[in-house]
Structure 1
Amino acid sequence: MTADEGNAEGNAENQWPVPPPWMWGCADCVHLYRTMKRVQDETNERRGTGERGVDDDPMDSTIGTRIRLAHHLVADHHEDLPDWLPACERCAWHRRILARSPDEQPGDAAVLVADEHRALHLFVPPRSLGLM
């Protein structure tokens, strides 16, 4: 059984969003998305048999493939990223970090991570966004 099969049907928190059409027009987006889904499927299958995962490299994990796609979206499609979502606690957290006074600014890395979080909303179920 995959993780998706074990989810309560109709629960919006567990539903994978359909990526926007413009992502399918980018060869890099398509490659990174397909890789992410393949690694996820392989990891879920191995988890069901007690195996560790695809391999021991954390960048080949499901999380690593999600981050790679999100990073690509920030770098190459920044203008297409969704706005902050009012109902998302992690969006609110990132916004608070970015809204600090000028002498407390977190720097470019925090801006990148916040933008990657917004990108994740395009292709990851809401239940998976809490730590990213």
Structure 2
Amino acid sequence: MTRVPDLPVPPPFMWACRECAHFLTELGIAFTLAAGHALYDGSVRCQLLLAAHLASRHAGDVPDRHQDCAPCDYYRQRAETQGIEDLWLEHRARDLFLPAEDARLL
């Protein structure tokens, strides 16, 4: 059975944004459902949608590059040449609403 992670408290700007607040609420529900159903993937979908929203609507609030982070190194090296700046933003945005060990998996 999947565990419900201890989620960090999101920054105030996320609660002030109607879409962020909606995604945060849905994420909590999705984690709870995933804990009871091994095949439920709604929490992953919510994470991806929230990270994409943060990257597109709140890019200035997304944290900078992580130290000692293999995905950050990968994205940094390829962001401009391969056009994946948005994926790098999404990767870093996950730190705003997930524990670091979960946020840095994608």
TM value normalised by structure 2: 0.86
Could you list the runs of 4 or more consecutive aligned residues of structure 1 that deviate by over 6 angstroms after TM superposition? none
CA deviation after TM superposition for structure 1 residue 78, in Å: 1.0
> 1:3 is matched with which residue?
3
| Structure-2 residue corresponding to 1:121 | 95
Which residue in 1 is equivalent to 2:7?
16
Q: Could you tell me which amino acid in structure 1 is paired with residue 96 of structure 2?
A: L
What are the Cα deviations for residues 51-74 of structure 1, in whole angstroms up to 9, with x where unaligned? x32xxxx6xx21111010011111
Following superposition, the deviation at residue 15 of structure 1 comes to 4.7
Flag the structure with larger Rg.
Answer: 1
8 Å contact kept, 1:2–1:41: no
Residue 125 to residue 25, structure 1, CA distance change in 2 (3 Å): same
Aligned length: 106
Structure 2: how far apart are the matches of 1:67 and 1:122?
Answer: 13
Shift of 1:88: 2.5
RMSD: 2.0
Partner of 1:41: 32
Alpha-carbon offset, residue 130 of structure 1: 3.8
- 1 or 2, which has the higher helix percentage? 2
TM-score relative to the length of structure 1: 0.71
Q: Percent identity?
A: 30
Which structure 1 segments of 5+ residues have no match?
A: 5-13, 100-104
**2:6–2:99: 8 Å Cα contact kept in structure 1?**
yes
Q: How does 1:50-129 map to 2 (within 5 A)?
A: 52-53=39-40, 61-98=42-79, 105-107=81-83, 110-129=84-103
